[in-house]
Amino acid sequence: MITKHNISSLFEFVKNQKKSNNLRIDLINKSFVLSQHSKIADISISKYKVVFNCKIEKKIEEIGQILLPILMLKKKFYIGQIGQSLDGKIALLNGNSHYINDKNSISYLHSLRSICDAVVVGVNTIRKDDPLLTTRAIKGPNPQRIIIDPSLKLTNKYQVFKDGMPNIIFTHSKKNKKFNNTRIYKLPERNFTNLIYQNINTLGYKLVLVEGGSKTISKFLENGLLNIMQFIIAPTIIGSGINSINIEPITNLKNVIRTKNNIFKFGKEIIVSLEF
């Protein structure tokens, strides 16, 4: 039975395989054997389709359907994700966002983190949520934490600087600040978002999750740096609060972002995934 405890090893396993268009995975004593021609395949994964013939938790099947094809791509890939209400809010006006989505979506988010090499957040998310950005809900590998803090407003009081795991900060500040377990990259202010993207690529991180908040995701979106953008939508109405996306106003509906999409039902929520 695949559970939240071993799905991360499944993800790790697929991640380490060479590219192949039609993999079959057999589950033997909770370990994974990969082949292309096995007759007793329990899971087969191709670029567009994942078929499970084994006993599997429904939630894990739903997660696998969305994430395993991404892992098959084996190329540089940037995923934006945001959890929001039906009316497009990611937090209340006071910044409180715990929790808009339900527990299933937290497992999903941690699975998404576990398949990624790095997770990117903006300084406001650290200040308002004080997150760890780990995968503790599924016990998967943790991605490299990357924080965008243009003016170096952060201090060592936040959890990411206290748990002993490494961080990267991108800034254009000239301040000489030090943070625990943190490498600081100083970049020019001009063309900052694109320079961050280039530096992440140079550092060798291929599968990158841009997790929020709104300003950070919007910058990556506006600069055309995301391969997919996933909205995890809870059936709730918040009314007023922080919008999930904030980009320059447009004057003609012909210019809205309208692109290929996939819609997944996920427990009581839905995931709308836009492809660029």
Ligand X SMILES: NC(=O)c1ccc[n+]([C@@H]2O[C@H](COP(=O)([O-])OP(=O)(O)OC[C@H]3O[C@@H](n4cnc5c(N)ncnc54)[C@H](OP(=O)(O)O)[C@@H]3O)[C@@H](O)[C@H]2O)c1
Residue numbers at the binding site for ligand X (CB under 6 A):
82-83, 90-91, 95, 97, 100, 121-125, 128-129, 148, 150-151, 153, 192-193, 211-216, 219, 242
Task: Give the pair of three-digit tokens for residue 55.
Answer: 């006993």
**Which C-beta is closer to ligand X: that of 8 or that of 216?**
216
Q: How far is the CB of 258 from ligand X (least distance, A)?
A: 23
Tell me how far apart the alpha carbons of residues 30 and 10 are, in angstroms, rounded to a whole number: 9
The residues, any chain, with a CB within 8 Å of residue 79's CB and separated by 6 or more, are 70, 112, 116, 207, 208, 209, 210, 226, 227, 228, 229, 230
Q: How far is the CB of 128 from ligand X (least distance, A)?
A: 4
Q: How far is the CB of 265 from ligand X (least distance, A)?
A: 19
Q: How far is the CB of 136 from ligand X (least distance, A)?
A: 17
**Which C-beta is closer to ligand X: that of 140 or that of 212?**
212
**Which C-beta is closer to ligand X: that of 62 or that of 129?**
129
Task: Give the pair of three-digit tokens for residue 28.
Answer: 């033997």
Query: Closest Cα partner for 276 from 203, 224, 230?
Result: 224
Tell me how far apart the alpha carbons of residues 218 and 226 are, in angstroms, rounded to a whole number: 10
Query: Closest Cα partner for 141 from 161, 119, 122?
Result: 119
**Which C-beta is closer to ligand X: that of 125 or that of 167?**
125
Q: How far is the CB of 219 from ligand X (least distance, A)?
A: 3
Task: Give the pair of three-digit tokens for residue 156.
Answer: 């060592």
Q: How far is the CB of 14 from ligand X (least distance, A)?
A: 25
**Which C-beta is closer to ligand X: that of 23 or that of 91?**
91
Q: How far is the CB of 189 from ligand X (least distance, A)?
A: 8
Dihedral sign for Cα atoms in the order 203, 208, 210, 216: positive
How does 60-97 read in b/e, with b if 16+ C-beta sit within 10 Å? Answer: bebbbbbbbbbbbeeeebbbbbbbbbeebbbbeeeeeb
**Which C-beta is closer to ligand X: that of 141 or that of 150?**
150
Tell me how far apart the alpha carbons of residues 149 and 126 are, in angstroms, rounded to a whole number: 10
**Which C-beta is closer to ligand X: that of 1 or that of 257?**
257
